[in-house]
Amino acid sequence: VEKARRLRELLVSPRPAQVVGAHNGLTGVLAEEAGFDALWVSSFEMSASRALPDTSLLTMTDYLGTAAQVNRATSLPVIADCDTGFGNALNVAHTVREFEAVGIAAICIEDKVFPKVNSFSEHDQPLVDREEFAHRIAVGKQAQHDPDFVLVARTEAFIAGYDTAEAHRRAHAYADAGADAVLVHSKESSPWQIEEFLAGWNRRVPVIVVPTTYNNWHIDEIGLAGVSMCIYANHGLRATVRSVRQTFTAIREYGATAKIESSIASVPEIFAIQNLDEWLSLE
């Protein structure tokens, strides 16, 4: 549909698209207001918002409901993080159809074994067989009804400790299987793995990066290096935690909220996000 087409345009535009993590309608609206191009409905944020670890605990319907909520709240295209795809090739096919049916522009699945652990955890990060994951991609692509729906294949080769040759083998296999873009993840503090990957990549499908740890890589350099899309995956959630913690501590400390009023949003600001006037005018 329309949003999927817009996401495809972002992936091929010469400027690198800037995408930010969101896990509810509110953060989606704030991201749109800030001028981001699209939204990443992050498994890390989604699980953390329930005070749960990002270890494949939530179900596919939890992910679907959250992505749909974010999607309805904004006019931006949504890329839904679907972890390992919730099972085998048929689960991926079902996931594609369910997300497509609620107007999500894209899903992203990664080549880790279910149940997975967040990529930044020191825990083991085993990968599924390359051919098996390519098969899941091929079946997922075959299942989609809207030709514009985007299936992103994410390789965790670097996260699992493999080298650039393995990341290339996997990314090529997934592109051969029909992936519309590849997301290459790295947890290094500089972008050297991503740069090495890009240097040997023939650009047949767009590359997406998540510069959480190599966070000094400027968007202009990211574009020059040949990246199509940059995802700031969890910054809204991390900002929320810091800010709510400070506010709650201050209320307990002062015993009155007057001192912190100027550092928190006003009630009318929230009304505006809620579109209160527009809603009331419906009656």
Which residues are tagged catalytic?
54
CB of 11 to ligand SPV, least distance (A): 18
Q: How far is the CB of 116 from Mg ion (least distance, A)?
A: 8
The DSSP H or E segment spanning 181 is strand 181-184
Measured CA to CA, the distance from residue 7 to residue 12 in angstroms comes to: 9
d(CA 37, CA 7): 9
Residue closer to ligand SPV, measured from CB, 21 or 140? 21
43 near ligand SPV (CB under 6 A):
yes
Range in contact with ligand SPV (rule: CB under 6 A) among 37-45, 63-71, 139-147, 265-273:
37-45
233 binds, among Mg ion, ligand SPV, none (CB under 5 to 8 A by kind): ligand SPV
Q: Please report, for residues 41, 46, 103, 239, 260, the alpha-carbon distance to residue 146 in angstroms, rounded to integers and kept in the order given.
A: 20, 26, 10, 36, 49
Binder among 11, 18, 21, 177 for ligand SPV (CB under 6 A): 21
Minimal distance in Å, beta carbon 136 to ligand SPV?
Answer: 17
118 binds ligand SPV (CB under 6 A): yes
Q: Does 156 bind Mg ion (CB under 5 A)?
A: no
What is the total residue count of the chain?
283
Residue 138 beta carbon to Mg ion: minimum distance, rounded to whole angstroms: 22
H or E stretch at 280: helix 276-280
| Euclidean distance between CA atoms 144 and 16, whole angstroms | 26
Closest Cα to residue 3, out of 35, 39, 29, 46? 39
Give the binding site for Mg ion (CB under 5 A): 43, 81
Give the binding site for ligand SPV (CB under 6 A): 21, 42-44, 54, 81, 118-120, 210, 212, 233-234
